[in-house]
Amino acid sequence: MVDERQDLGTARAALLELPGIGPWTVEYVAMRALRDPDAFMNSDLGVRKGFETLGLPSTERAILDRAERWRPWRAYAAMHLWHAHP
Determine if residue 81 is left, alpha or beta; phi over 0 gives left, psi from -120 to 50 gives alpha, anything else beta: alpha
Residues 3, 7, 38, 44: which is the catalytic one?
44
44 is catalytic: yes
8 vs 14: CA distance, rounded Å: 10
Q: What residues have CB less than 8 Å from 3, skipping those under 6 apart? A: 11
- The answer to whether 80 and 74 are in contact (CB under 8 A) is no
Active site residues: 44
